[in-house]
Amino acid sequence: MKMNNNNVISMENFIEMVNKKLDEYMIVEYPEDLFKSMRYTVLLPGKRLRPIMCLETCRMLGGDYEKAFPTACAIEMLHSQTLIHDDLPCMDNDDYRRGKLSNHKVFGEATAVLAGDALLTFAPQVITKFSQDLSNECILKVLNEYFQYAGAYGVIAGQVVDIESEKGNITNEKEATLNYIHLHKTADLFKLSIKTGAIIAGANEKQLEIMTSFAEKLGIAFQVADDILDEISTFEALGKTPGKDKASGKLTYVSLFGLENAKCKLACLFDECYDILNKHDIKSEIFTDIIEGIRQRVKL
Amino acid sequence: MKMNNNNVISMENFIEMVNKKLDEYMIVEYPEDLFKSMRYTVLLPGKRLRPIMCLETCRMLGGDYEKAFPTACAIEMLHSQTLIHDDLPCMDNDDYRRGKLSNHKVFGEATAVLAGDALLTFAPQVITKFSQDLSNECILKVLNEYFQYAGAYGVIAGQVVDIESEKGNITNEKEATLNYIHLHKTADLFKLSIKTGAIIAGANEKQLEIMTSFAEKLGIAFQVADDILDEISTFEALGKTPGKDKASGKLTYVSLFGLENAKCKLACLFDECYDILNKHDIKSEIFTDIIEGIRQRVKL
């Protein structure tokens, strides 16, 4: 695969650039509570994995990653939206997120619902408003991926089935259901990040296919790791309450197959990720850092 | 103003066509509860005012209204989204909507939150998916209006200030605040409907300006009428619990200026709407029907 290996950016540099852009794009206007609530969760310190994957994919496929900032940041906003609504009392009822009080604990439930709603249209508006360097055709392609993965066919479908599973309503085909949840609840935002990065780089169909399959495996790996962390981690390391999956009887890789099998599965998924990169001669320090970072966290 | 007065469509015909298209666009897929919840509120019997205003504006400015169906229906979906989230216990806590149980009473709070979220991306996806007849440039123009009026600069800003007003937090500049709420909470979706209809018709800047000003006056009139109805109407006529504004101490035109002044204001706004239409020689039975329908409901 033809790639641009010049001008490699470190994880820290990407994080700094993304934080700066997020701050720039989200100016506080009237009514201030709304914009402050939106900013609060988006700007919580985080690894910025999704925007970085978007930027890095664009860069390593020979694109100008600067052109991908609006899209990369829009995906972080979308991700934050899912966190705000996930934490609501009627959903996961979580008081903490990334080590800080969750959005509705600070701004109240009504504002948290509305801030989440606002982010769902603010995010694609950032794409159209700040992507002057992209053609209309390219912007529409990016928006179509956003609509597909952010909505009823993507993240939200995964969320709904996840909630069903918490109610103990899944009795048959547990493995298929678990795969569905992981695929949509988590992998879809990885696919969105990586596919849009590739689209902005001008990737061809074959490249898009390869990167989508890589994104899917990495996304599922990330969720299996998340299931493991809920079992083995502490509040300090996690930034949110651990052990909640188990307590709620949630369907997770660990609850279905046990901790050791989950670790095996994760190691396998990482191998498959590296296989794809190696087979197509894709070199990316960033993706290696992401994979090895997860491996370290779950003590694999 | 150059217009197409041939091929006039009646309100009933428009309603029937919109309902058919809404049903077509919203196919129930897995997870079924999500799609059923989305469909439930969107397909509740309603006047379909916003989609009809979009279609009628397109038609009367010489456009092919058939091309506006995806956008018109997307706006109805967006409107339904605001109703689903407005009715939540943490917001207006309303058990009824259009005479039926509200979404969260039927599907539970978690699914209602997620169905609302899903509609926010499903709606613009309907625009991009079914508007093959429109140029990329036109689709992007329509989407930009959608993002602007649906989000933090539009409907949601109005909602946030409305909630503040319910808490009794507005003590100064009550009239300016009330105007802000009406402008954003209600008039913005009228502007979205009418502006996008005009854009799809290929309207020029001057026409867009005229129609936007008309939409703003009609939208504010609609909200003043809503304030009056909350005071004088019954559950049967309203399809939701009346008297809630008063009970909650909400800032409304009636609470601020009294019922008679609200009625005067409404009559004035209607005059201004007709003035705009007459001045620019715009003839529309549909808009006349809409205005006279409201006048009748509030017994003006």
Average pLDDT over residues A77-98: 95
Spatial separation of the C-alpha atoms in residues B239 and B216, rounded to whole Å: 25
- Chain A segment 45-64 residues within 8 A of B by beta carbon are none
Look up tokens 């050791």; give the residue.
A260
**pLDDT tens string B38-91:** 999 999 999 999 999 999 999 999 999 999 999 999 999 999 999 999 999 999
- How many other CB atoms are there within 10 angstroms of residue B11's CB atom? 17
- Residue B66 or residue A7, greater confidence: B66
Cα–Cα–Cα angle for B118, B119, B123, rounded to 5 degrees: 125
- pLDDT for A7: 73
Interface test with B, best of A25, A38, A117 (most B CBs within 10 A): A117
> Measured between alpha carbons, how far is B116 from B105 in angstroms, rounded to an integer?
14
Contact A252, A245 (CB under 8 A): yes
Q: Which residue type is seen at B132?
A: Q
B74 domain residue, yes or no: yes
Q: Which residue has better confidence, A262 or B1?
A: A262
Tell me how far the alpha carbon of residue B152 is from its chain's centroid: 16
Residue B187 falls inside a structural domain: yes
CATH number, position B35: 1.10.600.10
Task: Compare all CA atoms of chain A with the CA of B157 and give the residue at the minimum distance.
Answer: A31
Within 13 Å of residue A217, how many CA atoms lie on the same side as its CB? 20
Write out chain B residues lying below 8 Å of A110, CB-based.
90-91, 163
| Residue in B89, B113, B121 nearest the CB of A150 | B121
Please tell me the distance from the alpha carbon of residue A233 to that of residue A222, in angstroms, as a whole number.
Answer: 15
Confidence at residue A251, expressed as pLDDT on a 0 to 100 scale: 86
Identify which of A113, A88, A189, A170 has the alpha carbon closest to the alpha carbon of residue B30.
Answer: A170
**Rg of chain A over all Cα atoms, to the nearest angstrom:** 18
Q: Mean pLDDT throughout A99-104? A: 95
Alpha-carbon distances of B95 from A255, B10, B117, B246, B250, rounded to whole Å? 37, 33, 20, 17, 18
The one-letter code for the residue type at B164 is E
Q: Tell me, yes or no, whether A60 lies in a domain.
A: yes
Closest CA to A115 of A47, A40, A50, A22: A40
The reported pLDDT for the residue numbered A196 is 98
Rounded Cα–Cα distance for residues B125 and B71 (Å):
10
ipTM: 0.94
Q: B117–A122: do the CB atoms touch at under 8 Å?
A: no
pLDDT at A1: 53
Q: Could you tell me if B27 lies within 8 Å of chain A, comparing CB atoms?
A: no
Q: Is A172 on the interface with B (CB under 8 A)?
A: no
Question: Is the pLDDT score of A21 beyond 90?
Answer: yes
Report if residue B2 sits inside a domain. no
B129 Cβ contact list (under 8 Å, min separation 6): B70
Helix and strand totals (H; E) in chain B = 16, 2
Q: How far is CA A110 from CA A10, A242, B166, in A?
A: 39, 26, 12
Q: Is A31 on the interface with B (CB under 8 A)?
A: yes
Residue A232 included in any domain: yes
Q: Picking from A8-22, A134-148, A232-246, B283-297, which range would have the lowest pLDDT averaged per residue?
A: A232-246
Q: Does B259 touch chain A (CB under 8 A)?
A: no
Q: Which residue intervals of A136-204 are DSSP H helices?
A: 136-150, 155-166, 174-181, 188-200
Q: Which residues contact A267 (CB under 8 A, 6 or more apart)?
A: A300
Average pLDDT of every residue of chain A: 93
Task: Tell me how far apart the alpha carbons of residues A60 and B24 are, in angstroms, rounded to a whole number.
Answer: 41
Name the CA dihedral angle for B147, B151, B153, B159, rounded to a multiple of 10 degrees. Answer: 150
Q: Are B266 and B257 in contact (CB under 8 A)?
A: no
Lowest-confidence segment of A54-68, A92-106, A228-242, B12-26 by average pLDDT? A228-242
Total domains, chain A: 1
Q: How far apart are CA A240 and CA A226, in angstroms?
A: 12
CB contact A84 to B (< 8 Å)? no
Does A133 fall in a domain?
A: yes
A91 contacts B113? CB cut-off 8 A: yes
The overall average pLDDT reported for chain B is 93
Per-residue CA distances from A208 to A44, A213, B7, B64, B288 (Å): 31, 9, 46, 37, 52
Show the domain range for A48: 11-297
- Yes or no, beta carbons of B121 and A34 under 8 Å apart: no
| Contact assessment for residue A190 and residue A218, using Cβ atoms and an 8 Å cutoff | yes
Q: What is the pLDDT of residues A43-69, one digit of tens each?
A: 999 999 999 999 999 999 999 999 999
Tell me the C-alpha distance between B74 and B93, whole Å: 25
Residue A121 and residue B152: Cβ atoms within 8 Å? yes
CB pairs under 8 A between A and B: 136
Bridge partners, residue A96, by sequence: A101
Q: Look at residue A217 and tell me whether its pLDDT is greater than 60.
A: yes
Cβ neighbours of residue B43 closer than 8 Å, sequence gap 6 or more? B19, B22, B23, B26
pTM over 0.90: yes
Length of chain B as a residue count = 300
Position of tokens 């926010």? Answer: B120
Average pLDDT over residues B242-266: 86
The 10 Å CB-count burial string (b at 16+, else e) for B208-222 is: bebbeebbbbbbbbb
Please choose, from the candidates B82, B115, B221, the residue with its C-alpha nearest in 3D space to the C-alpha of residue A159. Answer: B115
Residue B292 confidence (pLDDT): 96
pLDDT of residue B5: 46
Residues B196-240 pLDDT 10s: 999 999 999 999 999 999 999 999 999 999 999 988 877 766 677
Pair of tokens at residue A166: 């918490």
Q: Which of B106, B74, B70, B71 is nearest to B88 (CA)?
A: B106
Any domain includes A128: yes
Residue A185 lies in a domain: yes
Q: What is the pLDDT of residue B293?
A: 93
Question: In this structure, which amino acid lies at residue A72?
Answer: A
Grade residue B166 by pLDDT with cuts at 50, 70 and 90.
confident
Instruction: Give percent of chain B with pLDDT exceeding 90.
Output: 82
